[in-house]
Amino acid sequence: MNQKPSNAFVAASWATLLTGMTAYLIGLWNADMLLNEKGYYFAILMFGLFSAISLQKSVRDQLEGIPVTNIYYGLSWFSTLLAIVLLTVGLWNADLLLSEKGFYGMSFLLSLFAAIAVQKNTRDSLVRELPAKHNGELYY
C-alpha cells in the first residue's frame, strides 16, 4: 500500500521535528555549561538525526527490494544506537538537574522520531510523483 501521506501528517511531522530540535537547541543555548559540552550535545543531536534518517532509508530500501549492503545496514543501526548511548552517557555524567536531563533526553528522542517520520513522508510523496515522470528503476 503506497499511499501519499496526508497534508496534516506531513505538517505534524515537520512541526514535531522543529519543536524537538528547537527545544533542544534553546535548552542548550541557555544551559550553564562549558562551550565544549554544548558542542558535544549539539554534535550528538546532528549525528543522531543523520543516523536515524539513514536507518529509515536503508530499512525502507530493503523492504522495497532496493539493494542495501549489510555493512551499510548494520552501520545505520549501530550509529543510531550509538547516538542514543552517547547522549545517555553524557547526561548520566553531566552536572545537571534531573529535570534538565529528562528534558534533553525527551527532546532528543522526539527529534529522532520526527526525523524518521519526515523522511518517510518525503519518500512516500516521491514514490507517488516520480513514476509518472520517469520510466525505469528509481533510487532515492
DSSP 65: T
Residue 5 forms part of a structural domain: no
Residue 62 forms part of a structural domain: yes
Query: Would you state the pLDDT for residue 3?
Result: 75
Query: Would you state the pLDDT for residue 128?
Result: 66
Residue 84 forms part of a structural domain: yes
8 A C-beta contact, residue 124 and residue 60: no
Residue 74 forms part of a structural domain: yes
Residue 136 forms part of a structural domain: no
Distance, CA of 115 to CA of 21 (rounded, Å): 10
**pTM for the structure as a whole:** 0.85
Count other Cβ atoms within 10 Å, centred on residue 30: 7
Mean pLDDT of the chain: 90
Burial of 69 (0-12, 13-18, 19+ CB in 10 A): exposed
Residue 96 forms part of a structural domain: yes
Query: Would you state the pLDDT for residue 5?
Result: 86
Q: How many domains are there within the chain?
A: 1
The boundaries of the domain holding residue 67 are 13-123
DSSP 8: H
Query: Would you state the pLDDT for residue 54?
Result: 95
Residue 4 forms part of a structural domain: no
Query: In the chain, which residues have pLDDT < 70?
Result: 1-2, 128-140
Residue 107 forms part of a structural domain: yes
Query: Would you state the pLDDT for residue 130?
Result: 61
